[in-house]
Structure 1
Amino acid sequence: MMKQLLKPDYIFESSWEVCNKVGGIYTVLSTRAKTLQEDFPDRIFFIGPDCWKGKDNPSFISDDELLKAWREHAVEKDGLNVRVGRWNIPGKPMAILVDFTPFYAKKNDIYTQAWIDFNVDSLHAYGDYDEASMFSYAAGKVLESFYRFCLKPSDNVIYQAHEWMTGLGALYIRKTLPQIATIFTTHATSIGRSIAGNNKPLYDYLFAYNGDQMSRELNMESKHSIEKQTAHNVDCFTTVSEITNNECKELLDKPADVVLMNGFEDDFVPKGDAFSEKRRKARGVLLNLANKLLGTDISEDALIVGTSGRYEFKNKGINVYLEALNRLTRDKNLKKEVVAFINVPGWVGDAREDLKERLASDKKFDTPLHVPFITHWLHNMSHDQVLDMLKYLNISNAADTKVKVIFVPCYLDGRDGIVNMPYYDLLIGFDLTVYASYYEPWGYTPLESVAFHVPTITTDLSGFGLWVNSVEGHYGMLEDGVKVIHRTDYNYSEVADAIKDTVSEFSSLDGKDVLAIRQKAENIAEKALWKHFIKYYYEAYDFALRNRTERLARKDN
């Protein structure tokens, strides 16, 4: 007989990415919010940093009447500068944004107390550690104020903190309000990401790495310390995939209590005629952009390929993607022209005026622009890894080459000055995407791709790739909608060849086969909807609440 899961009365989640789109965690929280809001109507609260002060934040709808009595109390009695409103996403859940800057004045005292209470070493902090920690602490103070003003001791309350950046607040709650059940979710271990990003082999030697020792070697002691101590001291420690759970076991000396796989919602994927129209429009925009930049007449049936995500050149597989495209230029089996995009935000400067002028014109151009690889100027044109590798590989984008490469180095938010379309409105126009990640705890980009019926290539070093293999019962193949390539610390060249061969194979398929693959891609996306994955969160809530009850009972005895 299945046990009855304990359910919380209230859920609070804190993340740097609440109403603040930076990376994949925004997608995790914002796509899941609707499901939780339906199950816990206005009893789920997201706490984020008020880092848009004085600027219009499109993700936040302020509402002075919402939680008015508490907000006034928090400001006047608890000295918290908070704004309350709705997160502008499906479900419109409540969001509390807190100004954390006043806590800098107490920083040393806060760090000292964290050392005394939990052995958190903040002595070697640098970079974004202070900013993240002061927000995290402020988020903990927000929950403390809200709990004491609005809630009852009998209420079952969950506090879920995301990433090392919110660890300090989770530990503060653990000490100050022990009756609240705490969950800590690491989406990637800071030390694992650092090992991979510093060109050290992560996977073959994972069993031999000592997280504390590596944190000293890589100057990551403070981030690693808060992450490790939070993992060991919350009621429920979670991560997002089995591949990251292996890291947690080895580098944090603590396996996850529950694995929370990342789901998705498809309610913003257009249906029927609207889908076809959006796809047609996106393809038109991409091909027109290519013509204006390259001065080449691109065929209507050209294969539009893309990659996207954070600018982590090795970890996200951008380097091996470029290597594969270079090899594709010499592939005799390639049946179509390929226009390959790299939609990765770099150190972007201005939108190119010469390109804007051409885009404003209806005519076709037969001469390329100067530097026909990039849509926006960068602040570091001479030291950019994508541009450096294009030069090293001698990729020319000449009219007679069958593979053209275009770097779009900005956030696709619809206001970039060149493309002027949101990412999802553009993604729908691609034929194939490539996410050949070396380090990828989950992999939202390939999941987003298949949600828009765009088949994708990924690797078995991503949580998503491993999940696809488990769903299919074998390594994902092109005809499954997701091609999963085996990747190790050392098989870079084989991965490049596998990408090249898959793109080449795709180029030779007829329309009927392509449609079948697109349907398979959509089928995989359906299996990853939140309605299937939300159950893992309910398991985590139950685990945390039971642990909390046992912990309090031990304390009373």
Structure 2
Amino acid sequence: YLMDTDLEKNNLSDRQITHNLYGGNWENRMKQEYLLGIGGILLLQHLGISKEIYHMNEGHAALISAQRLADYVEQKGLPFDVALEVVRSSSLYTVHTPVPAGHDYFDEELLGRYMGHFPHRLGISWQEFIDMGRTTPGSSEKFSMSVFALNTCQEANGVSYLHGVVSRSMFAPVWPGFFAEELHVGHVTNGVHLPTWASPESQAFYKKHLGTDYVSRQADESTWAAIEHIPSDEIWQLRSQLKENLLHYITHDYRKRWLRANDGSANLPEGLDCIGLNTLLIGFARRFATYKRAHLLFTDLDRLSRLVNHPDRPVRFLFAGKAHPADGGGQGLIKHITEISRRPEFEGKIIFLENYDMHLASKLIAGVDVWLNTPTRPLEASGTSGEKAEMNGVLNFSVLDGWWYEGYRPNAGWALTDKTTYHDQQMQDRLDAHTIYDMLEREIIPLYYDKEGKSYSEGWIHHIRNSMMYIAPHFTMRRMMDDYYDHFYKPLSQRQQAVNASSYAMASEIVEWKKQTAAHWDEMQILRVNASGFELRTTNTDVIQSLEVEIDRGGLTAGLKVELIVASDDNQGGLTLAQSIPLELVEQSADSRWQKYHVDCRLKNPGIHRVAIRVTPHSALLPHQMDFAYVRWAAL
């Protein structure tokens, strides 16, 4: 449902709220997120739509939780703490970027101007409300929509495996006492909608060879196995047709659009008419954020000139994209590339196509031979443009980041390592640029032109065949939705049904457990840690080590989880979890106040580690440890 404030009944300032996704001041951004979150829930109510699960696509939608909380308090008469359990049990937050600019933080004064009435509606104080959006409650931090989403959603996920790892590290400060590796933040790798991004020619090709019902079976690798037996010349015909479509578009339709947009007064990029159908085309088109590193190809212009001016193996580079209106660095990159493309040695060989939109994108992702992506690791959350190209038999050449970290297969595309060699980003950029040139010169260009008297290279077709068979089926939206259903929607649906049953009895039970545990947590004492003979420095993983911990629970009735935590330095000033070894309750007093825990264990990873005892409250009612992140530490 598209929400739009540009209506005659609204005043002029309100009509402008939805004019631009980006741009404007922070107050307009606050209005947009108020409209999206709170207005979005009100819209669904007006339409009579009620669902089990509410999925926040990025923190910008986090205020849906505020409105849902208010509804449960005001309409159902639930106490705030109970309403929070109900809302959390039915909410999922998906984070899309590790880049700080993608997470919104609002000053307390601005937040209060729009959300100041909500604490009264919820029956809590302003301090309690604003602390829900702070990494450190009680501090003077700005209100983070992402933190508010994490605190009001039971589950959270990144949009690729590697992005899930990065997100856990990014959000670790929200749950002090736990390591990033332990957090409940998962991942579902993005996929693309095959019927939208596979060209009509590609879809006809798939229907012919995979079956007319291939769309319903698209996420099954066995569906694509038939590509193994398709004659090479048919695959080449498909790729040739898609390239011809692209070249026709940029020499006819694009030319008309350009001249119309520029009133016929601007110079059209040179060389659009001179690109041969058998020329290797490499495409780079996306949002021009600086971390995408579009500049890498231009770090050695002499070497680049030799590539594009080779008499027998010509290469042409097509660039397109837009920068954020406030991103001067991204705009500068576009200007830099455009200026280089106008130099005599690069005219008609490096071409920047302006006015990037979905129509131009659909032609580019299907018509080029190679899709190039060069993000700064690990800042590429997913990178779906390469997946769109994938659906058309285009080969990917990218850093092992985002989806390509999972998607890359040997002999089905090319990859730069996911490892960072230099902490100095400029040195890393130079290394990556050298690697790109080297792989183009030694692998990609020779493979494309190794035709052995044919009109195409069998080796190139072999790569395309492998790419279609072993990569494409795993990056469709069908697979993505299956993953969301299996990993999040279904478990959340079952959880919220249990929490809501019998007039929210389980939610009330959880709240009572948390209140009792919080009230008596400070009474719990770790009396003794018996680590006699425990070797903190060992080179022998076969040594069985014994450990005992005695605890006085005081008035605490909650179950306890007692662990031996072994951590290692991460070489960046922090710690990474090496082992988490649970201790077993072996003895206790009649009233269960005094308890002894014991473990016999073998330590992994010989070397020097940091070792401590961690005690946390435990209840089968909780979905995960971070749901109630109380922690007590004891040294050995």
TM-score, normalising length: structure 2: 0.51
Instruction: Name the CA distance, whole Å, in 2 between partners of 1:385 and 1:304.
Output: 21
* Alignment match, 1:502: 439
Q: Is the 8 A contact 2:163 2:187 kept in 1?
A: no
Q: Is the 8 A contact 1:241 1:260 kept in 2?
A: yes
Match of 2:153 among 231, 234, 242: 234
Q: Is the 8 A contact 1:164 1:226 kept in 2?
A: yes
Residues 1:513 and 2:459 aligned together: yes
Aligned length: 374
Residues 53 and 554 of structure 1: CA distance in aligned 2, closer, same or farther (over 3 Å)? same
Residues 1:531 and 2:470 aligned together: no
* Alignment match, 1:556: 508
1:556 alignment partner AA: S
Residues 1:446 and 2:392 aligned together: no
Question: Which digits, 9 at most, give the CA deviation of each residue in 1:242-275, with x for residues without a partner?
Answer: 3322333233236454412112232342233777
Residues 382 and 264 of structure 1: CA distance in aligned 2, closer, same or farther (over 3 Å)? closer
Q: How many Å apart are 1:304 and its aligned residue?
A: 1.4
Match of 2:298 among 317, 322, 326: 322
| Greater C-alpha radius of gyration | 2
Q: Is the 8 A contact 1:184 1:237 kept in 2?
A: yes
Residues 1:430 and 2:368 aligned together: yes
2:412 alignment partner AA: D
Residues 100 and 238 of structure 1: CA distance in aligned 2, closer, same or farther (over 3 Å)? farther
Instruction: Name the CA distance, whole Å, in 2 between partners of 1:531 and 1:280.
Output: 29
Residues 1:263 and 2:191 aligned together: yes
Question: Which digits, 9 at most, give the CA deviation of each residue in 1:178-230, with x for residues without a partner?
Answer: 556121111114527589xxxxxxxxxxxxxxx9799xxxx9944xx111121
Question: Which digits, 9 at most, give the CA deviation of each residue in 1:146-181, with x for residues without a partner?
Answer: 4xx465xxxx61111111110111332245245561
Which sits farther off after the overlay, 233-242 or 403-412?
A: 403-412
- The answer to which structure, 1 or 2, has the higher relative contact order (CA under 8 A, 6+ apart) is 1
Q: Is the 8 A contact 1:174 1:182 kept in 2?
A: no
Note the residue ranges of structure 2 that are not aligned, 5 or more in a row.
18-24, 73-82, 105-132, 175-182, 206-236, 256-266, 451-456, 510-636
Residues 428 and 241 of structure 1: CA distance in aligned 2, closer, same or farther (over 3 Å)? closer
Instruction: Name the CA distance, whole Å, in 2 between partners of 1:163 and 1:326.
Output: 43
Q: How many Å apart are 1:343 and its aligned residue?
A: 1.1
* Alignment match, 2:631: none
What's the RMSD between the two structures over aligned residues? Answer: 4.2
Instruction: Name the CA distance, whole Å, in 2 between partners of 1:514 and 1:145.
Output: 55
* Alignment match, 1:74: none
* Alignment match, 2:66: 171
Instruction: Name the CA distance, whole Å, in 2 between partners of 1:496 and 1:381.
Output: 19
Q: 2:166 is paired with a residue of what secondary structure? A: helix
Q: How many Å apart are 1:310 and its aligned residue?
A: 1.0
Residues 1:458 and 2:398 aligned together: yes
Instruction: Name the CA distance, whole Å, in 2 between partners of 1:278 and 1:52.
Output: 40
2:55 alignment partner AA: Q
Instruction: Name the CA distance, whole Å, in 2 between partners of 1:167 and 1:555.
Output: 21
Residues 52 and 100 of structure 1: CA distance in aligned 2, closer, same or farther (over 3 Å)? same
* Alignment match, 1:161: 56
Equivalences for residues 401-420 of structure 1 within 5 A: 404-414=349-359
1:338 alignment partner AA: V
Question: Which digits, 9 at most, give the CA deviation of each residue in 1:6-58, with x for residues without a partner?
Answer: xxxxxxxxxxxxxxxxxxxxxxxxxxxxxxxxxxxxxxxxx44326769xxxx
Q: How many Å apart are 1:521 and its aligned residue?
A: 2.5
* Alignment match, 2:245: 281
Q: Is the 8 A contact 1:338 1:402 kept in 2?
A: no
Question: Which digits, 9 at most, give the CA deviation of each residue in 1:519-546, with x for residues without a partner?
Answer: 2222311222233333321120133234
Residues 52 and 432 of structure 1: CA distance in aligned 2, closer, same or farther (over 3 Å)? farther
1:49 alignment partner AA: M
Instruction: Name the CA distance, whole Å, in 1 between partners of 2:44 and 2:156.
Output: 20
Residues 1:245 and 2:164 aligned together: yes
Instruction: Name the CA distance, whole Å, in 2 between partners of 1:128 and 1:382.
Output: 21
Q: How many Å apart are 1:518 and its aligned residue?
A: 1.9
Residues 497 and 286 of structure 1: CA distance in aligned 2, closer, same or farther (over 3 Å)? farther
Q: Is the 8 A contact 1:453 1:522 kept in 2?
A: yes
Match of 1:540 among 479, 484, 488: 488
Residues 1:385 and 2:333 aligned together: yes
Instruction: Name the CA distance, whole Å, in 1 between partners of 2:285 and 2:337.
Output: 17
Instruction: Name the CA distance, whole Å, in 1 between partners of 2:318 and 2:141.
Output: 34
2:458 alignment partner AA: K
* Alignment match, 1:187: 96
Q: How many Å apart are 1:435 and its aligned residue?
A: 0.8
Instruction: Name the CA distance, whole Å, in 2 between partners of 1:293 and 1:333.
Output: 18
Residues 134 and 100 of structure 1: CA distance in aligned 2, closer, same or farther (over 3 Å)? farther
Q: Is the 8 A contact 1:336 1:402 kept in 2?
A: no
